[in-house]
Structure 1
Amino acid sequence: MLGPDGTLTVPKHVRDELEHILTLLQSSPGANHALNHPPQSSAISSPTSPPRPESPQRPTLLSNVRITKKTILSQLYRYLVGTDLEYPETSEGGVGHLFELQPGTTWGNPTSSFAYSLRSPRGYTLAGKEVEIDFLGDGSFVPCRVGHATCQGSKICPMSDLESMSTPHTTASRALLQERLRLDRENRMERTSPSRDIFKKTAAVVSAFRRLGCTGSLDEINLFNTEGQAAVDEMNLHRTEHQRGYSSAVATCDGRLQLECEHYSSENKDHLVFTSIADGSYDMGYLEALFNDDLEEIKSIEGAASTVCNVSVQKTLCRRSYRHIYCSFDHRDSTNILVQHPMIRLECKCVFRTYEPLEEYRDDFPFVLIVSKSVHPHPIPLPSKTPPKIRAELMELLPRFQEDLPDLTPRRFLRHPILKAHLSLKFPDIPNPTLTYIDQMRKKLYPHGTRWKGILGLKDLQIISRPLRDHCIRQMVDIDIEGVESHVEDDPVALSESKRLRFILCMTAESSERLLTAQYVQSDIAFRRVVGFYEFELGAWERDATTSVVFCRIFLNRQTAVAHLKIFQAIEDVLFADTGKRLRWRHIHGLDDGDFENCLLQWMGDQHGGQAKGLGLHLQAIVQKYPHTADLHDPTRKIASLAPYEHLYRTFRLCVAHGFRNIRKCKVPGRVRELMRSLICVEHEDWDATVEAIRILGGKAGTDWVNDKERSQFAFQAMCWAKSSIPKLVWCAGDRTSNLIETSHADVNREGVQCTILGGIMKGEFYDSLQMKTLRSFEQTGIRQSYSAGHPTENAIKNLKRKCECLLTCDTYADAPKVNIYQKGLMAEDLQIWNANSKIQQAHEKIRTVKDRVVNAAASLARTDPAFHPGRHEKQSTDKARGLWKKEVEESQVLVGTGIGSGRVCLVYSTNEID
């Protein structure tokens, strides 16, 4: 709106929101230097630093406190609001811990912050069997629900010192834990040496051999005797237990291993072979003794190595909830066999009883009493839980990430502006904490997951929460491909081994209305953005607004002709549901060959056979409704009689940029490349002769290129207007490249790649909605998305400037201000030619030097010994120099006719070793 002085102003609420955003960005530490100064992770305190306080203030210790009419605690710790306790003190008689909670907040259990694993036996008292507790010590007894849980202890390697590991403790702290870890580290560091590193690496590779085996295919059946079969069965059982009971779905080779699988050969290279052994990083003698079961040699080597690294020194200590079953290190069993022992459990009988007031009393008595009884006969566990307050804050913060949540990872979470703004306000002087609870919130908001079922749930949600016009997920198709017609044009590579065809059509009603008026459309398939699905985009250039628009996104798992046929049919169905109309194709619905109004004139794409054949099949299905309509380009035929590819001749065109790029990659002489490029034209003087010349002069590569175009059955017609049935006006006015849709793919990829299908759909919808809003803004207010006027003249000026920069770069390689990717490639190719020339010149100089030395030596000796002739040494030097020259010439000849380089560096070529 205009202010009193004629200047543009914004509404007050918009200005307030912008000022708030600026405040958040300015207060974010390092916001202006994110690239130069990445955020530091929160460091764990070192052993020399003071222990972290476990509560805002030291707890109050009370003695001989009566908590029930019959129970007196000898010790009771009372904690203030907000205390997170990791290691509660315990004793045989029991120690009480009284926590005060914040009234009016979500009720929490303080045991959730304990470092001890608390599980069964566990439970709560039944209704009607509550216990009355005097929290305040004033005789006000409150009925409480009583729960109990038991410490689960730890898991340790059986080769550990069980006596020291089982030493009981009643008190623990971060300081005591850090002291234990410090001593362990010092013990390990005392044995650090190169010999230890080699021995550890050797033992690790042996363990990997035994655990992994040969992953090659099971193409031969091995026969074992009884003892050998028992060993194989035991090893397979060991591998299955390592995978927590999940056996491999694909049978793999069970051949014997001796640095390589017994089935490995030059004809069978998919079996295991350990080539890294040649780098000297492993103890060869130890490996040989192990594979040969030489127990005497094994004992000798391990005995000599015991001073630096005995295999029994390293053990595993972990929490009870640790998923691994076996110790990670190898140890000798009772039969002197090197194995990974299953870890044993150090059971603990320490019980934690929790007394919580009934809900109706919690506002007046916001306390929770926990009584721990018995000792812990195991080492102090490592802390592995996030404090409840931080966890609750994360759970409150995560829903604000909206479309970013399905694909959120710890790194993306830490870099997200929402988190940075939140932390900058809450902790201006403290480094950002790390994330641990993404999965839990993701499961809460997306209970059906982020795959196919999750999309079904999202589709159902949009049905009940959005008007039909705002629906994005319009169709989800899941069919069995068994029995579905196949075509030679089908892409044999699928993104999954599933025997089903799946695709998801995302399209809004507004997109349907815009597609109905489009005349030149482009399509492309990408594979980077969504894991397990291709992404098909259909878009066009909005010529009035001079901006691109994406009509629909389709996520599919196969690129077959039938798959594309079904998605084109689905687009037509959604279009009809939204507008009551279907697409009008010029060659089908036009009144004559000059009727260009309200018709789709041209479809731009690449040479993918499945997409092209699918489009042809779709058009062939449409014309069956018009059995008596004559073809506009051949009135002697009915349009219903046209084959799929004949429809493509009337509407489909290949991208010129793709064609030139593929020609540039062909390994044919430069003259042949020129012939290939000449076929991408409006008209050609001698088409057949040019094609035949490419076959003859291009060799195998040229023949393959021609055969590929002919085999596609539509490529030549889509490259040259004279070969097609597209009107010349349409050909000249239409798009020459698919850069528009390629750029659209690149833009949406900036929202994130390697996404889940749910995240890909949500981010794609978010990106497309911004595009539509920008377009509507221009249409309703005239406000463009940039300061550019969008006039074609401006685009032409940009193109000319870009070309001038390229020419400047070519003429002045040194200190060139701008170099595009193509020029960088040419410069690299020029450098390749220059290096080849340099090697030939050096070989020439070598020959000259050798010959001059021989001539000078002969002249010198001729004066004293006229009968002198060049000896064997002189002849060997000459032959060696000539051999080097011939080698360099042969290598440079490979570059002849390849067409590489900018043309400013010529290739030195000589047929004579002196010329």
Structure 2
Amino acid sequence: MSLTCSQLEALEKVQQILDSAGLSPISVTSSVVSLPSSHQNTPDVDSTLDTISTPPYPRYQSPAPYYFTTEEISQRANYVNRATKVSAIVDHPVHAILEYPITAPGSIAHCFVVDPISFVQPQSAFQYSLGGGHGGRENAVCLLLRDDAGKGVRCRQLKSSCNGLKAGYSDDSAEAEVFNKTLAFFCAVSEQGCGFDANLDLSPEIVLDSFDLHSESESRGCGAPLMLSVNNLGRPYIHCKNFNASVYRARTHLVLRNLDEFNTDYLRALIENDLKAISFHETRAKNDGYGPLMPCTFVASPAEQKQCCPYWHRNHEGKLARGTLHSWPVPCKAKFDIYTPYNLTACPQVLVICTNNHSHPPPAPVKTPEAIKAIFYELLLTLSWKLADATPRRILLDSAFIQALQAHLSWKETRNPTLSDLHPSLGNSDHARRLINTLRFNEFPSGTGFAGAIHLATKHDLLPIDERYIRCAESHQLSTKSASNPPAATTSTLISSLRLVICMTKQMSWRLMQAKRLSIDTSFKRVHGWQEFEFESWDVAHMKSVIGARAFTTSQSAQAHFILFQQIFEIASADTGCAVQFQYMHGEGIQTIIADGHKGQGLGLGMYCVYLCKDSIQACRYDTTALLRDLDPYDHLRRFYRLCLAHYKRNIRSLRGQIPKDVEIAMLTITSAEPHPDLQGTLKKIKKGGKKAAAWLKDKIEGTKFVLLALYQPNSLIPLEIWKASPTTTNGNEQAHRNINRDGVGLTLLGGIMRGFHYDTNISASLDLFDAFGINSSDRLSTHAYRAKRALARQVRYTRSSPSEGNTSFACVHLTPPPVEPQPELIPNSSLMTGSTGGAIPVSTFSTLTYALTAGAHVMDHRARSPSFSAAPPTVCAVHHHIYPTRDQLSTFSTLQGAVE
């Protein structure tokens, strides 16, 4: 009969599989028909293919063998060929997964019905390790497989044998546990030795990376023997012979002090090689049924490819060593003859003849049958792009994967299924991870790292502008040259490269260009080996924190940030048709940018502003005596850059115990929007506050030069109203990082990009919903009042939980200072603003409401210039509950709630 086009395509696919398996090709255009098998127990092939669409594993049980009768034997119905015959035959349906075929002293034939479209060799599911092949034969005629004329079909015969097992003990008593831990600890320490490298420079200024504990390099290790000594408290410890606590270089040699969980008598005997004591401990252990003198009972299948026993034993020389795995003592005599027809469409059956019983126990099911692999891969494909970050643990946390697994297994139990319920071999996480990696490589041929991001960016370039997300995936070479105008840099030395991926939609570009007060921050957790940078701002119209741009970088240098800002704003300008604008340059646009004070990030931002103004002839709108093109990066930062107070105070708190308390308070008083009563005196106090404090001040003045300008408004050129309108922390960025980190951390680059894409598009959809229907993402709008109330509630909880922390984390300055005088320059080559209060007592020397509401802060409700105070009660409005102070007085309230009641 003639074949349809689809059947011919299927046959060609089968032909390719046969060719790859080394089988001879046949003409796919010849007319073929499907014929029943010659023996009576063969099932109907077509009906079986239609009724069984998935493998019946794990419920499949091999049927009992059919033993040929005397009459059938007399008719030679059990003959495979003229020289080979069998005593019984077992029929298996299509997709049958047989891992332990029945064997007998004689020969048993297993006849497998196969699917010619997706052909898999049945023996690939055998858990027995087949090898030691004895050749085979082409064009072998198998009489148990017959064609339509009743003649035996021509097959390729493969002869193989069972490789058997590889063989090389347990007690759960407390004595056995301590003994085994001690022995294992000694073996590990002896094998690793001292990790000291005599070739390394161990000067105090050098910071060493962690040693590679698995390295076999001869340079790792001094080769000196290990010793067990006792300290002055009588506590034992192990150390390298070259260890000396009084010599700096010798202090880096191995020393292990916590030995409480080991048998120190046995450990001392092992280290000192006291044969008599060793024999005493190990003989006693052997009598109790454990220890290195016991015969090993570890068994492994050859398919596991293990060479050594995981346990340590005493060899014939009396030395401790890991046992070597050898073949099973009794050679396995089981043989396998496999007959595969050349034309599987005409005869979709494979015959496997098993001869002789196995001489060893069945091996563990460590191999995953091909049919089970196909099911596992099909389930993994339900993860879609999440496959980029799939691990054996993560897939079990994915609801779509679990639902598909439950459907396949017809799961009825209350617990969720695990991979071992699909097949026991998948219970090995390392094995399952290898299978996942195989599929991941097939699905992402460019990988899930930078090359994969470049491939995905190329695809996004072909999409309409409204659908693009990955806008840039490129690499740049960085040099040692650090100039205020990088494009004008001349000769430089190449030291590193920058890989950069920028992700932003057109909507994000509009949000970035319309923002006036931006926040920038970098996270290091979400994508392994990459830093994630974000532009964040507060959308007043939607009362929501929004992301303007997301980028992944591999460098934190100033050059890298210059390139980053340049690329982001160029993309945003191309999307919106608007040029980037700053308030001090153009009279509108970005007013402030707040960051955590990273030097490379701040300097890179200043370098970008220099790049923007390189051809400008305009004067600064904040200082008309200065031309924009003449400003250096620090001058530009002085006009819009602010520092996160939370990071600033956290860094100061990290110095506690290393600086005096009054110096810590002095450091905190620098952050203010109002003139400081004695800034020079405060700086002198910090400088004299010890080595750490002096180094801190030097870094702020000479190292990270923009820090003090970004903390103290009188020395900044940012107008006071714009300064106060700016957020004081990068908490918006921190919350944005926290929100997206809930989707996973330690991801691959491709997985991080895709999760970011869905997160950012969901935020955009929420904003569009609010614009269209007025539906907010939560019941409450994040108004100024709501956010202030939440901030105060958090501060109250913090103060109550640690009152000393809450009251000392902010500075307290007595309000009896001399008249404020103009402050000198803090940064070389920079003119700082000065101011005067005309001798009046300042209203407040603090710029944060939080301090004013701290218990014991004693903030003056100043009304007149007179420094006198009065205890007269204030006048309270009965309608609005407003407090009108009658005279100068001290505030008695520590919370906003108390202040308005």
- TM-score normalised by length of structure 2: 0.69
Query: Number of matched residues?
Result: 691
Distance 1:368 1:682, change over 3 A: same
TM-superposed deviation, 1:551:
2.2
SS at match of 1:558: coil
2:628 partner letter: I
Q: CA deviation at 1:747?
A: 0.3
Report the 3-state secondary structure (helix = DSSP H, G, I; strand = E; otherwise coil) of the residue aligned with 2:252.
coil
The 1:660–1:384 alpha-carbon spacing in structure 2 relative to 1, beyond 3 Å, is same
Alpha carbons 2:663, 2:686 under 8 Å: kept: no
Partner Cα separation in structure 2 for residue 506 and residue 151 of structure 1: 56
Which of residues 134, 147, 151 is equivalent to 2:145?
Answer: 134
Matched, 1:86 2:99: yes
For residue 692 of structure 1, what is the aligned residue in structure 2? 683
Given residue 265 of structure 1, which amino acid in structure 2 is its aligned partner? N
Alpha-carbon spacing, 1:769–1:149, altered in 2? closer, same or farther (3 Å) = farther
More helix by share: 1
Matched, 1:774 2:766: yes
Q: Which residue number in structure 2 is paired with residue 206 of structure 1?
A: 186
Pairing of 1:334-345 with structure 2 (within 5 A): 334-345=316-327
Moved more, 142-151 or 373-382: 142-151
Alignment counterpart, residue 641 of structure 1, candidates 630, 646, 652: 630
- Taking the aligned partners of 2:165 and 2:267, their CA distance within structure 1 comes to 34
Aligned-pair Cα RMSD in Å:
3.8
Inter-partner Cα distance in structure 1 for 2:321 and 2:483:
52
Alignment of 1:378-417 (within 5 A): 378-386=360-368, 390-417=372-399
Which residue is 2:839 aligned to? none
Residue 324 of structure 2 is aligned to residue 332 of structure 1: no
Deviation per CA, 1:349-401: give whole Å up to 9, x if none.
75544434456616xx5433222345545443111134555433332221222
Residue 282 in 1 paired to residue 280 in 2? no
In 2, are the aligned partners of 1:529 and 1:752 still within 8 Å (CA)? yes
1:427 to 405, 411, 418: 411
Q: Output the CA distance in 2 between the equivalents of 1:568 and 1:463.
A: 20
Query: Which of 436, 439, 447 lines up with 1:438 in the alignment?
Result: 436
After TM superposition, give the deviation of residue 701 of structure 1 in Å: 5.6
- 1:716 paired residue among 664, 684, 708: 708
Q: Does 1:257 align with 2:265?
A: no
Deviations 1:579-630 (A, max 9, x none): 4544222223x1xxxx22xx2221111111111111111211222122x333
C-alpha distance in structure 2 between counterparts of 1:353 and 1:783, whole Å: 71
State the one-letter code of the partner of 1:714: F
Is contact 1:587–1:632 with CA below 8 Å preserved after alignment?
A: yes
Q: Distance in 1 between matches of 2:496 and 2:141?
A: 58
- Assess, with a 3 A threshold, how the Cα gap between structure 1 residues 199 and 829 changes in structure 2: closer, same or farther: farther
Deviations 1:671-698 (A, max 9, x none): 6555444432222143524523642785
Which of these residues, 98, 103, 108, is aligned with residue 120 of structure 2?
108
Amino acid at match of 2:379: L
Question: In structure 2, what residue type is equivalent to 1:95?
Answer: I
Instruction: Tell whether the 8 Å contact from 1:512 to 1:578 is kept in structure 2 after alignment.
Output: yes
* Deviation of the 1:763 alpha carbon: 1.2
Q: Could you tell me the percent identity over the aligned residues? A: 28
Which consecutive unaligned segments of at least 5 residues does structure 1 have? 1-51, 158-183, 222-239, 488-497, 808-819, 831-898, 905-915
Post-superposition CA distance 1:110-140 (Å, at most 9, x none):
33332123457499977x7786752699936
Alignment of 1:750 with 2:742, yes or no, is yes
Aligned 8 A contact 2:303 2:367 in 1 = no
- Unmatched 5+ stretches in structure 2: 1-56, 202-211, 228-237, 420-431, 485-494, 808-850, 857-901
Q: Distance in 1 between matches of 2:141 and 2:677?
A: 99
Change (3 A) 1:202 1:791: closer
Higher mean C-alpha displacement, 59-68 vs 256-265: 59-68
**What is the 5 A alignment of 1:429-828?**
429=413, 431-435=415-419, 436=432, 437-463=435-461, 466-481=463-478, 483=480, 485=482, 499-588=496-585, 590=586, 595-596=587-588, 599-626=589-616, 628-667=617-656, 675-689=666-680, 691-692=682-683, 694-695=685-686, 702-710=693-701, 711-788=703-780, 790=781, 792=783, 795-797=784-786, 799-800=788-789, 803=792, 807=796, 820=797, 823-826=800-803
* Aligned-residue offset at 1:568: 1.4
Q: 1:263 to 1:474 in 2, by over 3 A?
A: farther
Counterpart residue identity of residue 542, structure 1: D
Q: Secondary structure at the match of 2:339?
A: strand
What whole-Å deviation, never above 9, does each CA across 1:48-106 have from its counterpart, x for those lacking one? xxxx98625634424355465544322211124553322113357542112235x6873
Change (3 A) 1:196 1:476: same
8 Å Cα contact 2:521/2:733 also seen in 1: yes
C-alpha contact 2:143 2:151 (8 A) present in aligned 1 = no
Q: For residues 135-185 of structure 1, give each alpha carbon's deviation from its aligned partner in whole angstroms, at most 9, with x where no partner exists.
A: 69993645545555554433332xxxxxxxxxxxxxxxxxxxxxxxxxx6x
Residue among 162, 166, 172 paired with 1:155: 166
Q: Secondary structure at the match of 1:330?
A: strand
Shift of 1:743: 0.8
Contact 1:60–1:79 under 8 Å retained in 2: no
**What displacement does 1:745 show?**
0.3
Distance in 2 separating the partners of 1:332 and 1:581 = 78
* 8 Å CA contact retained: 2:740, 2:756: yes
SS at match of 1:327: strand
Contact 1:352 1:370 in 2 (8 A): yes
1:75 is matched with which residue: 88, 98, 110? 88
Shift of 1:281: 1.9
Q: How does 1:182-193 map to 2 (within 5 A)?
A: 188-189=170-171, 193=173
Query: C-alpha distance in 2, partners of 1:586/1:470?
Result: 31
Query: Separation in 1 of the partners of 2:217 and 2:502?
Result: 35
> Shift of the alpha carbon at 1:546?
1.7
Contact 1:526–1:536 under 8 Å retained in 2: yes
For residues 674 and 508 of structure 1, the distance between their equivalents in structure 2, rounded to whole angstroms, comes to 45
Tell me the amino acid that sits aligned with residue 681 of structure 1: S
| Aligned twin of 2:195 | 215
Distance 1:216 1:429, change over 3 A: same
Q: Which residue identity is paired with 2:272?
A: N
Q: Contact between 2:544 and 2:782, CA under 8 Å: does it hold in 1?
A: no
- Secondary structure class of the residue paired with 1:541: strand
**Alignment partners' CA distance in 2, 1:705 and 1:125:** 83
Q: Tell me how far 1:828 sits from its aligned partner.
A: 9.1
Tell me the distance in 1 between the aligned counterparts of 2:545 and 2:287.
Answer: 71
3-state DSSP of counterpart to 1:603: strand
CA drift of 1:713 comes to: 0.9
Pair 427,681 (structure 1): closer, same or farther in 2 beyond 3 Å: same
Is 1:196 paired with 2:185?
Answer: no
Contact 1:218–1:254 at 8 Å: present in 2 too? no
| Pair 737,287 (structure 1): closer, same or farther in 2 beyond 3 Å | closer
Higher relative contact order structure (alpha carbons within 8 Å, sequence separation ≥ 6)? 1
Mapped to 1, the partners of 2:137 and 2:769 lie a distance apart of 63
